[in-house]
Chain A
């Protein structure tokens, strides 16, 4: 039987979250079809057609699909749902918005944020902010699943699947897009960056947060923050890593001036390597850090920046 993955994209570029969701889908039910819904997103569909394991790409192009709002996405996914054993979306704020509507209308439970496919009907997922892992078995019927993308490797590219246009149901007319304020950054996105450097309350102010900039530039790192730093107003909320923010799992997570509250650890503890700089040697962050430097960050950060420059990082 076939599974259907809903693509994550911005109408121009296909996001890596899609490749990771394809990996999860292939472990549940192969072959995999991908649904690309948006406005003027034919190039995204072509990109999705290259993902290994994808047999077919469904392209749904309509003006009211541009922002993938929940109500028209529900109607669209239901219109193509027949015949799929499993329907999966990445557990992004987009996927989490529309997919439960689909599950409700199909009268099946949704399995949220799976971390692992144990067998085609059994999954591991985090509960209590990752402080416990639940293994659940779905009953017969369609499976509707969101995927925590940091837990899966991205499917490779190399296929050349067919792209097929589908008829888009009319806009239910329940909601409309009224605007957005996206954080502008030249840096990689937090959830897909290979290196993340995060600052906490120890940085002391919004100005001091910029001490991280030059280091992040040299390492091509994304910049994140603890909830304490966000609540103190140093950076906007979309920087937040943790239970109530984003979940990241980069190759290297560098925590600077972050004490390591449980709620922060829930968002980064699956990183491959964790390094921490904190002046308090008793800080809980050191209990999860592979490498810890007990130091005053206002001394250590300029040193780190200089040392990186000395070693040829620009």
Chain B
């Protein structure tokens, strides 16, 4: 059984994002970049399946600039077997990503695609679902746990009211939520070994996909700021203030 894991290079989770003064976007110059945290969880899940002997090969794919090969190296150091970089400069919208991934799935024929539920830069939460639809596959999004059972996968999903379990026929697409697992840190020997693992390079044109954006970003602005309010001295004063503000029932 083979698993395909798409990974995206994004601004590191801990970096405070700054909007550019000309509102053309977010400042990416000299900012630490890392693998999207949800994608790390996806790589971890795939590698654990391999360690359990349920999966024979884990292939990591990244669509992005040349530096996305570093993100692939991270996936390889965590335990993925080989990488595929689809070189694209500038933003690639979720639909185009899904089309490229579909072409890769058609060629690689994995039994399961494990993707992050969303990238923490554009927060779109679309690629996994779009890919599943283009392939005509079932999906288990926002996964909390996964059990592989021959021809199907049992996936518990984080939903608004709690957890929902679905059974999905394989091949399928799963997207990860935070509690699926705790990703490992790659060990130094594994980081060294990852340098020898192969990364193939392609372009979107190789897959016949046009990545020109279809949504026009008119501007990127700062969200409205909330000012600090007042300190109150007691519980009674707090309730008085809330009553005056008209928010007490």
Interface residues of A (CB under 8 A from B): 67, 69-71, 74, 92-94, 96-105, 107-113, 122, 126-139, 172-183, 189, 191, 194-195, 219-220, 236-238, 244, 246, 251-252, 262, 269, 272-275, 277, 281, 286-295, 300, 303-304, 307-308, 311, 313
Contacts and interface: CB of A to CB of B under 8 A. Distances in A.
Contacts of A195: 247, 249
Contacts of A219: 248-249
A176 B164 CA distance: 11
Contact of A291 (B179, B222, B230): B230
A125 to B, nearest CB: 8
A13 to B, nearest CB: 13
Contact of B133 (A104, A136, A246, A286): A104
Interface stretch (B48-56, B60-68, B93-101): B93-101
Q: Which 3 A-B pairs have the closest CB atoms?
A: A174-B138, A101-B133, A290-B229
Contacts of A108: 95, 214
Q: Mostly helix, strand, loop or mixed at chain B's interface?
A: mixed
Contact of B94 (A109, A138, A246, A272): A109
8 contacts: A96-B125, A100-B126, A131-B17, A132-B17, A135-B218, A189-B161, A272-B247, A293-B234
B230 A292 contact: yes
B223 A175 contact: no
Nearest to B236: A307
A132 B27 CA distance: 11
Given A104-B95, A136-B218, A180-B165, A96 B134 contact: no
B235 A307 contact: yes
A293 B160 contact: no
A103 B133 CA distance: 9
A219 B248 CA distance: 8
A132 B221 contact: yes
A139 B131 CA distance: 22
Interface in B142-167: 142, 154, 157-167
B98 A104 contact: yes
A175 B166 contact: yes
Contact of A246 (B160, B162, B231, B234): B160
B141 interface: yes
B159 A290 contact: no
B242 A275 contact: yes
Contacts of B108: none
Interface stretch (B69-77, B78-86, B115-123, B190-198): B115-123
A105 B134 CA distance: 7
B217 A133 contact: no
B159 A94 contact: yes
B33 interface: no
Contacts of B136: 172, 174
B104 interface: no
A58 to B, nearest CB: 21
B19 A109 contact: no
A291 B229 contact: yes
Interface string B152-189: 00100111111111111100100000110000000000
A175 B161 contact: no
A252 B238 CA distance: 12
Interface string B29-57: 00000000000000000000000000000
B13 to A, nearest CB: 9
A273 B247 contact: yes
Contacts of B142: 93, 97
Contact of B163 (A180, A293, A313): A180
A174 B137 contact: yes
Contacts of B219: 134-135
Most interface-central of A97, A122, A273, A286 (chain B CB within 10 A)? A97
B232 interface: yes
B129 A100 contact: yes
Contact of B221 (A94, A99, A133, A288): A133
A100 B94 contact: yes
Contacts of A252: 242, 245, 247-248
